[in-house]
Structure 1
Amino acid sequence: MMDAVTRQAVTRSGAPRTNTAGMPPDPFPRRPRRRLRTFLVVTSATLVAVAAVTVASGLDEFDQRQPRIEIPEGIPPGPGAPLPPIDVDAPGRAATQLAHWAAPLSDSLAISPIALEAYGYAAAVMAQSRPECGIGWTTLAGIAAVESKHGTHGGARVGDDGLVSPPIRGIALDGSPGVAEIPDTDGGAMDGDATHDRAMGPLQFIPETWKRWGVDANGDGVADPDSIDDAALTAARYLCARGGDLTTEDGWRTALMAYNLSGEYLLDVRDRAAAYSVGVRR
């Protein structure tokens, strides 16, 4: 298993009646008026019902004029909006070359432009260095959505430099029910836990995996699991190495199961990646 995924579920009165007890009865009941009131109430209710039906019909008509976008169900998910040509070896944070590509997608997908630039850049690097892999930015976006809500889990945010702050750390991998047991491998230097390993960053790598696969993608000379640039390219490298040809169903499945050995996880990533591939937020 590549990393331990910590997905914590985030869980997101009528007015009192007026008390009229003790009021003396009306010595002159006005029955005709009471009947009129009843008639008015019934008539009002009928008008409201008619209005509701009319509005609902109007909305249905509007929905018919705006066809829903069907989200593909196959594997692998589609590649999404094509990337423009960029110089992947440009100095500094080369991912910024994708700013104009990412901006309109950010609005429609509800993913920060910086995160989208990171996913796009990672896919562009792999297209040049491992063209036979064929990994799409949508797959990386799908994984990041499940792992950390694109670097925003727990109130974190992705800075303009791609650094996620505060750092995202998973639970201690201590073998408790439903949790893998992985004793500390880094002396707590990377994940802050000297007893057990914890998954780190927006793509949730454990220290041992990061030490083997981590790469510097933003040109600052450091391979940092808390950098969404470094994490996205590292994930892309790992997935391509594990799955081979990710444009095939077998290759994509193999890569995702290597990342996290869970069929439910695989489908969750697929659903998000497929939605992103047709411009739908998830």
Structure 2
Amino acid sequence: MGGVKNRLGWMIAVLSAGLMVAACGSSEPPRVIPEGIPPGAGTPVPEIDFNAMGRTADLLLAWAEPQGDALNISTPALAAYGHAAAIMSDTSPGCGIAWTTLAGIGFIESRHGTYQGSSVAPDGTVAPPIRGIPLDGGPGVAEIPDTDGGAMDGDPVHDRAMGPMQFIPETWKKWGVDANGDGIANPDNLDDAALTAARYLCARGGDLKTAEGWERALLAYNQSGVYLRDVRDAAAAYSVGTSA
């Protein structure tokens, strides 16, 4: 994240760009995953009152639930992605980040908060918490000495990426935001993590409706061309209503 966040080997998903991906059910014709950057925006997110009390992502449950099975994304996770995109559409309209991009990142980083048996609660909280490997300078891993005394990531020696969107503590301290209305910016809550990711991507990429802006944002999130292509492929699949 932000030039120091590395892909973790146990998180990498190798996807194939431009292939025909079968939709649910063998009787349906396969859907073509579109090429190009940025990936499509997917099903439009309805306007919501995100200043209401409580978890305002719940206002998108009726939008998320009918899509969940085809996308293989839980309803609270999909609502979190749509919620973040809706907020950014209102507060940073020049960015144009789509929920499909956030879902693409969520798939690659943590399988939408389900890595190694974790699950997403109705309030967006992911448990058990997902933590990456120590960033100790080993093969293919950046070296990041501890920046939080282990308070956030549980490691007092080296930093670890945290939560469903895999933020390191230093980045979370700067960018983390409360999005589920509980008053706490929690990297293990997918509402909070998705909106934080959206804010970070918009700040780094500018106009994500352009190929240049989208690439700049994703490479700021993770400096890897393979990562960028994997996220693009997943987001493009979601854009046409099928799973990554």
Whether the TM-score (by the shorter chain) exceeds 0.5 is yes
User: Counterpart of 2:140?
Assistant: 178
Tell me: CA distance 1:6–1:187, structure 2 relative to 1, closer, same or farther (3 Å). same
1:36 is matched with none
Read off the aligned partner of 1:275 and give its amino acid letter.
A
| Kept in 2: contact 1:96–1:117 (CA 8 A) | yes
Deviations for 1:98-143, whole angstroms, at most 9, x for unmatched residues?
Answer: 0110001101101000000000000000000000000000000000
Q: Identify the match of residue 183 of structure 2 among 210, 213, 221.
A: 221
The 1:208/1:65 distance shift into structure 2, 3 A limit, reads closer
Contact 2:54 2:182 in 1 (8 A): yes
- Larger relative helix fraction: 1
Report the CA distance shift for 1:195/1:131 in structure 2 as closer, same or farther (over 3 A): same
Letter in 1 for 2:63: W
Write the distance in 2 (CA, Å) between the matches of 1:140 and 1:100: 19
Deviation at 1:67, TM superposition (A): 3.2
Q: Structure 2, unaligned stretches of length 5 or more?
A: 13-24
Instruction: Find the counterpart in structure 1 of residue 65 from structure 2.
Output: 103
Q: Give the CA deviation at 1:195.
A: 0.4
The 8 Å contact of residues 156 and 168 in structure 1, kept in 2 or not, is answered as: yes
Counterpart in the other structure of 2:220:
258
Identity over aligned residues, as a percent?
65
Higher relative contact order (CA 8 A, sep 6+): 2
| TM-score, normalised via structure 2 length | 0.91
Shift of 1:64: 11
Query: How far off is 1:65 after superposition?
Result: 7.8
Aligned-partner Cα distance in 2 for 1:183–1:200: 15
- Change beyond 3 A, Cα 1:247–1:220: same
Correspondence list, 1:101-140, <5 A: 101-140=63-102
CA 1:181 to 1:9, structure 2 compared with 1: closer, same or farther past 3 Å? closer
Distance in 1, matches of 2:26 and 2:112, equals 33
- Where does the alignment leave 5 or more consecutive residues of structure 1 unmatched? 11-62
Retained in 1: the 8 A contact 2:11–2:110?
no
Cα RMSD over matched residues?
1.6
Return the index of the structure with the highest Cα Rg.
1
Residue in 1 that maps onto 2:49 = 87
Q: Distance in 1 between matches of 2:26 and 2:218?
A: 37
* SS of residue in 1 equivalent to 2:31: coil
Match of 1:270 in 2: 232
Deviation for aligned residue 1:84: 1.1
